[in-house]
Amino acid sequence: MPIDVEAVRSHYPVLDRELDGNRLVYLDSAASSLTPEPVLAAMDRYYRWSRSNVHRGVYPLAEEATDLYEGARGDLARFLDADPRGVVFTKNATEACNLVAYGYVRAHLGPDDVVLSTVMEHHANLVPFTQAAHAVGAEIRHIPLTEDGQLDLEVAQQLLADGRVTFAAVVHVSNVLGTINDVARLTEMIRDANDAAVVHVDGAQAAPHLPVSVRDLGVDSYAITGHKLLAPTGIGALVARPELLDRMQPFLTGGDMIRDVTLEGATWNDVPHRFEAGTPMIAEAAGLSAAIAELQTLGMDAIRAHERAFTAELLDALATVPGVRIHGPKDVEIRGSAVSFVLDGIPPHDVGAMLGSRGVCVRVGHHCTKPLMRCLEVAATTRASAYIYNDVDDLEPLVEGIEAAAAFFAR
């Protein structure tokens, strides 16, 4: 069923805000989504009604808190078609990537190994692995871009040819270009070259917008963050094969992640708990469950269809503005809803300031992808990114704001 945007919008109190008399137009969901009422209510209910710590409590409140927290693990596993024993909660996707870098790459790779990455990675899926590779003496190779902003799989094939790639960290959907990478195919290529290779994917920009089956993608681990998919900030996850987690070293140690402790040492709890030290984010987990329910009610196929249609309109609208150059694929079948562009001769920060003054919220800057910015030969871009609460009414304020910036800053 197509998404009823008006009904969706009624769940987001902030959308009623006006900024200096302008209707709020939120086009920055690739940075962080808005939060709907049911998510706020779920967190509120935990604090008002079930507030206590998880695990080991033998009274009803503690059981409720544990059910909320462990329930979220199951909800997320079902949402991403993965094994709940492989779901490790983290504070965000960045921490999930670091968990793999510290727990796996630093523990298992050495100077004979090669780490495969791409030039379009967010710093979160790049820096932890370059640091880890340097630490163990492994080589790093990067898949470059094609002309239209996709990964160049022909070059990838060459990079894989010697069979030395034993670990890969690849983004599913680019936060700048919007490109949807064919992760399943790339994973197959990586395994064909070396069947022991471990594939880690940054799914922060994919899970909120596409139907995702971690099982079908065939990857070993998949990082997501809650705050981009209607959930609160402060909760993310590494969704991994339990067998990978079994081979990983603990990253943070302390309470809850241990089996036994002596004054001299400790033994570790089973996965996934081995990687969740200390009291976790309980209200946030309740919020995550509510967010997933919200998305599942709409249906991920319907969300994808809505965004594909919106993005097509957005690309067409931007094409009418003189001086706008879009970075990333123009074909909406292979791209998500984050659209980066530059306006000829006008610095992105000034474009963003003009749009902001008109209530239109977009992101400007390098989007934590400095190597990609160098490939594109720009210092920064302006990025408009949509979600379920955006519709074509949001395009006119965007286009008018860009045109106003062009006129205001014209030299």
Partner 1 sequence: MSMDDLYQEIILDHYRKPHNRAPSLDGEAVHVHHSNPLCGDEMDLRIRVADGHLDAVVFDGEGCSISQASASAMTDATTGRELKDALDLAEDFRLMMHGEGPSRPDDLGDGIAFTGVAQFPVRVKCALLGWMALKDAIETHERGANAHTVTHEE
Which residues make up the interface to partner 1 (CB under 8 A)?
20, 347-350, 353-354, 356-357, 364-366, 370, 373, 378-380, 408-409, 411
CB of 357 to partner 1, least distance (A): 5
User: Which is nearer to partner 1, 337 or 369 (by Cβ)?
Assistant: 369
Helix, strand or coil for residue 200? strand
Task: Provide the β-strand partners of residue 180.
Answer: 173
Say how far residue 306 (Cα) sits from the centre of its chain: 19
CB of 373 to partner 1, least distance (A): 7
User: Which is nearer to partner 1, 336 or 348 (by Cβ)?
Assistant: 348
CB of 354 to partner 1, least distance (A): 6
Phi-psi region of 33 (alpha: psi -120 to 50; beta: other; left: phi over 0): beta
CB of 175 to partner 1, least distance (A): 16
Closest CA to 173 of 128, 130, 223, 138: 223
Non-local CB neighbours of 348 within 8 Å, separated by 6+ positions: 342, 364, 365, 380, 381, 382
Q: Contact at 8 Å (CB) between 11 and 38?
A: yes
As to burial, measured by CB atoms within 10 angstroms (0-12 exposed, 13-18 middle, 19+ buried), residue 236 is buried
Q: Contact at 8 Å (CB) between 409 and 350?
A: yes
User: Which is nearer to partner 1, 293 or 353 (by Cβ)?
Assistant: 353
Residue 230 DSSP one-character state: T
Closest CA to 124 of 205, 46, 190: 205
CB of 134 to partner 1, least distance (A): 20
d(CA 251, CA 169): 18
User: Which is nearer to partner 1, 47 or 408 (by Cβ)?
Assistant: 408
Which entry of 97, 361, 368, 375 is annotated as an active-site residue?
A: 368
368 carries an active-site annotation: yes
User: Which is nearer to partner 1, 303 or 346 (by Cβ)?
Assistant: 346
Non-local CB neighbours of 4 within 8 Å, separated by 6+ positions: none
CB of 379 to partner 1, least distance (A): 3
Closest CA to 373 of 130, 59, 126: 126
User: Which is nearer to partner 1, 249 or 357 (by Cβ)?
Assistant: 357
User: Which is nearer to partner 1, 38 or 347 (by Cβ)?
Assistant: 347
3-state helix, strand, coil in the chain (%, to 5): 45, 20, 35
CB of 346 to partner 1, least distance (A): 8
Q: Contact at 8 Å (CB) between 129 and 115?
A: yes
What residues are annotated to the active site?
368
